[in-house]
């Protein structure tokens, strides 16, 4: 989906989120079992999340706006 760009900088454990046209959205990060570990409301098209306190593994990031919901898999190493 071209609306959302997600990248992890492994050198500093930062997750970068960029939305193309949205100014308000909700981010949830959960473990693979569905337990929500992080929730934050964002105003602005970009955000950076510090994942340094997360253990290495696979997580799901759910981004919700008024127009869409998307779920992506992220891997912290």
User: How many independent structural domains does the chain possess?
Assistant: 1
CATH number of 43's domain: 2.60.40.3080
Query: Where is 72: in which H helix or E strand?
Result: strand 69-76
Domain with 17 in it: 4-76
Residues 18-75: tens digit of each pLDDT: 988 777 899 999 999 999 999 999 988 889 999 999 999 999 999 998 888 999 999 9
- Asked if the model's pLDDT at residue 1 lies above 50, the reply is no
Query: Where is 77: in which H helix or E strand?
Result: none
Q: What is the DSSP string of 9-54?
A: ETTTTEEEEEESS-SEEEEEEEETTS-EEEEEEEESSEEEEE-TTS
Collapsed DSSP state (helix, strand, coil) of residue 2: coil
How far does CA 17 lie from the centroid of its chain?
6
């Amino acid at each position: 989906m071209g609306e959302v760009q997600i990248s992890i900088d492994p050198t500093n454990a930062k997750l970068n989120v960029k939305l193309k046209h949205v100014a308000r959205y909700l981010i949830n990060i959960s473990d693979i079992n569905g337990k929500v570990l992080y929730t934050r409301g964002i105003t602005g098209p970009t955000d950076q999340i510090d994942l340094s306190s997360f253990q290495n593994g696979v997580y799901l990031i759910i981004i919700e706006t008024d127009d869409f919901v998307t779920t992506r898999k992220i891997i912290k190493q």
